[in-house]
Amino acid sequence: MVIVIVILVILLLVGYWLLMSPHSQILGKYNWEGNTDKKVVAITFDDGPNDPYTSQILDILDELKVKATFFQVGKCVERYPETTLRAFRSGHVIANHSVSHEFHNYFMSLSFKKEIIDNQKIIQNHIGKRPALFRSPWLWRQPFLLRTLRLNNLVPVSGEFCHPLEVFQIDSNKIAKSAIKKAKPGSIIIFHDGFDGRGGNRSQSIEAAKITIKRLKESGYAFVTVAELLGVPAYQQ
pLDDT tens series, the chain, 237 aa: 667 565 665 666 665 666 778 888 888 889 999 999 999 999 999 999 999 999 999 999 999 999 999 999 999 999 999 999 999 999 999 999 999 998 888 777 778 999 999 999 999 999 999 999 999 999 998 899 999 999 999 999 999 999 999 999 999 999 999 999 999 999 999 999 999 888 899 999 999 999 999 999 999 999 999 999 999 999 998
| pTM confidence score | 0.94
**pLDDT of res. 82:** 98
Q: State the number of CA atoms in the 13 A half-sphere of 9 facing the CB.
A: 6
> CATH code for 30-236?
3.20.20.370
CB distance 18 to 166 below 8 Å = no
pLDDT of residue 74: 97
135 DSSP β-pair partners: none
**N- to C-terminal Cα separation, the chain:** 57
- List 155's β-bridge partners, or say none: 133
| 3-state secondary structure at position 35 | coil
> In this structure, are residues 99 and 118 in contact, taking their beta carbons and an 8 Å threshold?
yes
Q: Are residues 101 and 77 in contact, defined by beta-carbon separation less than 8 angstroms?
A: no
Please give the distance of CA 135 from its chain centroid, rounded to a whole number: 6
Say what the pLDDT of residue 5 is.
Answer: 67
Local structure of 77: helix, strand or coil: helix
pLDDT of residue 231: 98
Give the ranges where the chain is alpha helix by DSSP (H).
2-19, 53-64, 74-79, 81-89, 105-108, 113-127, 143-151, 172-182, 203-218, 226-230
